[in-house]
Structure 1
Amino acid sequence: MIKAVVVDDELGARESLSKMLEKNCKQIEIVAKADSMLSAFEAITNKEPDLVFLDIEMPNGNAFDLLEKFKNINFNIIFTTAYDHYAIKAIKFSAIDYILKPIDPEELVQAVKRFEERIGEKTTLDKQFKTLLSNVRPDNKLKKVGIPDGDGLIFINLSDIIRCDSDGNYTFFILTSGKKIIASRTLG
């Protein structure tokens, strides 16, 4: 038997997935269900599942926040999601599986089969997860923006910008210091 944990903050989605697994994937034994990041962390830690069906968006964080709490990822993941095409691309690239909501029973069966085929692979789950995180949360995030002024560009930390106001062809950048910078050219 494959031990699994089902994580979804929505009761209906959690129960629907559980019933689909019981009906269509007899090799899956649901050892726990969780409705929050905390209960998911506890269930995964205590039950040591082989596979976790994990909703990406949850109250107080998301699946990636939850997974970062684990020192080592020693379980497989099938994400369940209703949206976020960028995350789906990152998940695909990391060789970690996903199912779009509403979940189709045939897609569920196929995802479980892919998991079973991967069981013997040498690629570590930790490596897959690290690849996923680097795709979803790259370290090279934009930290500064170049604003054209009369002499060239002024580079400002994004965290220093409170807001941008537009007036015709001008954009006014209001900074946390109270300073106001006027862009000398249109930005769009």
Structure 2
Amino acid sequence: MIRAIIIDDEIQSRITLKNELSLLKVPFEIVAEANSVLTGVEKIDLFEPEMVFLDIHLGDGSGFDLIEKVKNRNFKIIFITAYNQYALQAFKVHALDYLLKPIVFADLKHAIDKAIHLSLNIQTNRIQYLLNDLNQKSNKISFSTTEGFTIHFIKDIIRCESDSNYCKIYFSNHEHIYLSKTLKQIEDQLINYGFERIHHSHLINMNHLLKYINKDGGEVIMSDGSKIPVSKRKKSELNLMLSKLAI
């Protein structure tokens, strides 16, 4: 039984969604409903759901406002929205599932199935990056070097490559720097800004990805022309992410 909360300021939309959920083979328990950011945060903190169906447009703010106010974001989210080109593009870019109103049963079933199988950590990272992108937060990063600190726009970082206990950072101006950090340490700093670990030695900025060649071992081509291998373990995850961007 999946404990869920529906947050939507339209009562008929909540009723319709509950009826649709009752037809699924996956059992849901709707532990609470809310119609605003304020009541939504209260219900989430009180009932600690496993999944939240979240409308983007609420009377006292947005679904994104709600996410930032919640104390513990340890639940899956399926976004719900009326047609909004900007919101839809944002969801596609960040590989997040969403439902368009009026909700189609087949789309609901598909979104729930994907949400169940997507790890909470991956979805949380993607949502955080979406929030950072929407709010235009923290667009710079500083790296400690032997000479002091070097400051860069995150959008200018193309990729990071592991070299033993060092890491090489490549930038869009064709410069690069060496850092005495592991790739995992760099990944922890950049994971919420559209970076994906596609190989144990490579972290890439998805905004600089130009092409994915899904044959042989699999590789990606970046905006600087570099070719980066994709590990077998990461191929299915990358395929899923890119399929959401396909037209």
Q: TM-score range by the shorter chain?
A: 0.5 to 0.7
The offset of 1:28, in angstroms, is 1.8
Moved over 6 A (4+): none
Q: Distance in 1 between matches of 2:137 and 2:95?
A: 20
Q: Aligned partners of 2:54 and 2:120: how far apart in 1?
A: 23
- What is the CA–CA distance in structure 1 between the aligned matches of 2:112 and 2:120, rounded to whole Å? 18
* Equivalent-residue separation in structure 1 for 2:98 and 2:28 (angstroms): 17
- Secondary structure at the aligned position of 1:24 is classed as coil
Cα distance in 1 for partners of 2:73, 2:26 equals 25
Alignment match, 2:133? 135
Q: Can you give the 5+ residue segments of structure 2 that lack an aligned partner in the other structure?
A: 140-247
Structure 1 residue 122 displacement after superposition: 6.8
Could you report, residue by residue, the CA deviation over 1:68-123 in whole angstroms, capped at 9, with x for unpaired residues?
Answer: 102441111101100222112222333331000000011000111111211xx373
4-13 vs 26-35, which moves further: 26-35
Q: Give SS of 1:95's match.
A: coil
Q: TM-score, normalised by structure 1?
A: 0.68
Corresponding residue number in structure 2 for 1:14: 14
Counterpart contact for 2:45–2:72, Cα < 8 Å:
no
Q: Deviations over 1:35-75 (max 9, x none)?
A: 11121111111111111000000111110111110244111
- Unaligned 5+ segments in structure 1 are 142-188
CA contact (8 A) 1:32 1:47 kept: yes
Q: How far apart are residue 139 of structure 1 and its match?
A: 3.3
Contact 1:73 1:129 (8 Å CA) reproduced: no
| C-alpha separation in 2, matches of 1:85 and 1:116 | 26
Tell which has more relative contact order, 1 or 2 (C-alpha 8 A, sep 6+).
1
Asked if the contact 1:73–1:125 (Cα under 8 Å) also holds between the matched residues in 2, the reply is no
Letter of the structure 2 residue corresponding to residue 44 of structure 1: I
What is the percentage of aligned positions where both structures have the same residue? 40
Instruction: Find the residue that maps to 2:22 and give its secondary structure.
Output: helix
Measured against aligned partners, the alpha-carbon deviations of 1:10-36 in whole angstroms (never above 9, x if no partner) come to 010011011101122542221111111
Q: TM-score, normalised by structure 2?
A: 0.52
Q: Distance in 2 between matches of 1:108 and 1:49?
A: 18
Q: Determine the structure 2 residue equivalent to 1:115.
A: 115
Distance in 1 (CA, whole Å) between partners of 2:56 and 2:21 is 19
CA contact (8 A) 2:5 2:53 kept: yes
CA contact 2:44–2:70 (8 Å) conserved in 1: no
Cα gap change, 1:122 to 1:105, in 2 (>3 Å): closer
8 A Cα contact 1:56 1:80, kept in partner: yes
Separation of aligned partners in 1, 2:11 and 2:17: 10
Change (3 A) 1:95 1:71: farther
Distance in 2 between the 1:102 and 1:25 partners? 21
Distance of 2:95 and 2:62 partners within structure 1: 19
Larger Rg: 1
SS of residue paired to 2:99: strand
